[in-house]
A and B are shown apart, each in its own frame.
Chain A
Amino acid sequence: MDKPLSQYLDLNKPQNLAAYQNTGGYAGFANALKMQPQEVQQQVSDSKLKGRGGAGFMTGMKWSFVPMGDDAPKNKYLVCNADEMEPGTFKDRWLMEGAPHLLIEGMMIAAYAIGADVAYIFLRGEYRLCATRLQQAIDEAEAAGLLGDNINGSDYSLKLHLHTSAGRYICGEETALINALEGKRATPRAKPPFPQVVGLFGRPTIVNNCETLCNLPCILKNGAQWYTQLADSADTGSKIYGISGRVKNAGLWELPMGTTAREILDLSGGMQDGLKLRGWLPGGASTDFLLPEHLDTPMEYDAIAKAGSRMGTGVMIALDDKHCPVGMILNLLQFFAQESCGWCTPCRDGLPWAVEILTRIEHGLGTQDDIDALQKLCGFMWIGKTFCALAPGAVEPLRSGMQYFADDFQQHIDHKGCRHRH
Chain B
Amino acid sequence: MAKIFIDNQQYTVKDGQNLLQASLSLKLDLPYFCWHPAMGSVGACRQCAMTQYQDENDTRGRMIVACMTPVSEGMRVSMQQPAEKEFRGQVIAALMTHHPHDCPVCAEGGECHLQDMTVMAGHHERQYKGKKTTFRNQDLGPLVKHEMNRCITCYRCERFYKDYAGGTDLAAQASKNNVYFGRQRDGTLESEFAGNLVEVCPTGVFTDKPFGDHYARKWDLQSAPSVCQHCSVGCNTSLSERYGSVRRVTNRFNEHLNAYFLCDRGRFGFSFVDSESRRLDVRLNGQLSSWSDTALSVKLKDKAKWIGIGSSQASLEDNFALQQLVGAENFNPGLDAQQETLLATHMAILNQWSAASLAEMEQADAIVILGEDINNSAPRIALALRQALLNKAREQAEKLRVPGWQDSAVRAILPHHPVPLAYIGYGDSNLAKQATISLVCDDKRAAEQGFLLANLLNERAPKPKVSKVDPHTLQLVEILKTAKRPLIVTGWSANNPALLAAAANIRKALKAVHSATASASDHDHAMLCIVPPEANTLSLGLLMEQDYLSADLLSEKLSAEKSNLMVLDHTAPAFSKRLDEWRKSAANVVRLSQLGAPDKDEVNLPLSSFSECSGSELNYQALIQSHLPATKPSGQCLPAWHWLVHIGKIRQQPLGDISDLGQLRELLSRSYPQLAAHFVDHHKTQLALQTPRVSGRTAMLANQTVHEPKPYGEADAPYKQSMEGALSGQDKTQPLAYSWSPGWNSNQSNHKFRDEYRGDGIDAQAGVFCVAGTQNNQWFKWQNNWSKSNKAQWQILPLQKVFGSDSLSLQALAIDQLKVPAQIVVSPGQAEKLGYVAGQIVYCDDNPTPLQLVVSPQVPANCVLVYVPADQLFDLQQCEALTLATAKQHEEYLAQAQQLREKQLTQKQAQRDKLLAQDQTIPIHFIEGVV
Contact = CB atoms under 8 A, between A and B. Distances in A.
Interface in B106-143: 127-130
B130 A192 contact: no
Interface in A156-205: 168, 185-186, 189-190, 192-193, 197-198, 201-203
A340 B175 contact: yes
A73 B415 CA distance: 13
B46 A198 contact: no
Contact of A345 (B46, B174, B400): B46
A341 to B, nearest CB: 6
B416 A73 contact: yes
A339 B174 CA distance: 11
Contacts of A201: 415
B128 A353 contact: yes
B94 A193 contact: no
Interface string B170-182: 0010111111000
Contact of B63 (A189, A349, A350, A385): A385
B400 A346 contact: no
B85 to A, nearest CB: 13
Contacts of B726: none
Interface in B360-386: none
A168 B153 CA distance: 19
Contact of B172 (A185, A189, A352, A376): A185
B412 A380 contact: no
B94 A349 contact: yes
A376 B93 CA distance: 12
Contacts of A353: 94, 97, 128, 130
A67 B90 CA distance: 41
Contacts of B90: 346, 376, 380
Interface in B387-428: 397, 400-402, 406, 408-409, 412-416
Nearest to B64: A384
A144 interface: no
A342 B46 contact: no
Contact of A387 (B46, B179, B401): B46
Contacts of A343: 44, 155
Interface residues of A, number: 39
B408 A350 contact: no
B402 A360 contact: no
B408 A349 contact: no
Contacts of A272: none
Interface in A64-80: 73
Contacts of B13: none
B49 interface: yes
Contacts of B409: 189-190, 192-193, 198
B75 interface: no
A181 B694 CA distance: 56
Contacts of B63: 384-385
B46 A356 contact: no
Interface in A313-365: 337-346, 348-353, 356-357, 360
B249 interface: no
Interface residues of B, number: 43
B42 A190 contact: yes
Contacts of A348: 94, 153, 176-177, 179
A260 B172 CA distance: 46
Contact of A202 (B87, B130, B155, B416): B416
Interface string A24-36: 0000000000000
B43 A190 contact: yes
A198 B413 contact: yes
B412 A202 contact: yes
Contact of B91 (A192, A339, A346): A346
Query: Which residue among B64, B94, B129, B406 has the maximum number of chain A CB atoms within 10 Å of its CB?
Result: B94
Given A198-B412, A349-B94, A385-B87, A356 B178 contact: no
A341 B176 contact: yes
A410 interface: no
B47 interface: yes
Contact of B128 (A192, A197, A356, A384): A356
Contacts of B87: 380, 385
Contacts of A197: 400
Interface in B63-84: 63-64, 68
Contact of A193 (B42, B46, B412): B412
A373 interface: yes
B62 interface: yes
Contact of B94 (A198, A202, A203, A350): A350
User: A-B pairs with the 8 shortest C-beta distances?
Assistant: A356-B130, A349-B94, A342-B179, A340-B176, A342-B175, A380-B90, A384-B63, A352-B177
Given A344-B43, A386-B46, 4 more contacts: A185-B172, A342-B178, A352-B97, A373-B127
17 contacts: A189-B412, A190-B68, A190-B409, A192-B400, A198-B409, A198-B412, A202-B412, A203-B416, A337-B177, A345-B153, A346-B91, A348-B179, A352-B176, A353-B94, A353-B128, A376-B90, A386-B46
Interface of B: 42-47, 49, 62-64, 68, 87, 90-91, 94-95, 97-98, 127-130, 153, 155, 172, 174-179, 397, 400-402, 406, 408-409, 412-416
Interface of A: 73, 168, 185-186, 189-190, 192-193, 197-198, 201-203, 337-346, 348-353, 356-357, 360, 373, 376, 380, 384-387
